[in-house]
Amino acid sequence: MSIKSLDSIIPPIRFKLDNCTVTIYEVLKSQIASGKTWYHVCLDLEYRGKRTPRFSLDAYNNKDFKKRLLVEISKLKWLVLLGGNP
């Protein structure tokens, strides 16, 4: 994942991460009451021909987004390996 900042994404964008295809459809930037910037990212994942419905991840920066995305990818991999449908 070579995206430097969530600000620089012009959706839709598709890339591979951890052998999974990630499609980002929308990135919304907001500020919470404390003044911190956070991002609401709408995306879906595809692994071994199985695609998830669109869902959202909230993250404070690119590092936080990648960490949360890897957790979601591992959940999808477990689901596919156990024979379930997303």
- How many CA atoms does the CB half-sphere of 10 hold within 13 Å? 0
- State which amino acid sits at residue 86: P
Instruction: Quick: pLDDT tens for 69-85.
Output: 999 999 999 999 998 88
Q: By the 8 A CB rule, do 49 and 76 touch? A: no
Residue 50 belongs to domain spanning: 6-81
Give a yes or no: residue 40 inside a domain: yes
Instruction: Give a yes or no: residue 53 inside a domain.
Output: yes
pTM exceeds 0.95: no
For residue 48, being part of any structural domain is answered with: yes
CATH number, domain of 64, equals: 2.30.30
**Is residue 24 a part of any domain in this protein?**
yes
State the pLDDT confidence band at 86, using cuts at 50, 70 and 90.
confident
| Dihedral, CA of residue 46, residue 51, residue 55 and residue 58, to nearest 10 | -10
Q: Say if residues 60 and 45 touch (Cβ distance below 8 Å).
A: no
Q: Is 63 helix (H, G, I), strand (E, B) or coil?
A: helix
Give the chain's domain count: 1
State the Cα–Cα distance between residues 15 and 35, nearest whole angstrom: 31
For the stretch 28-49, pLDDT in tens is 999 988 889 999 999 999 999 9
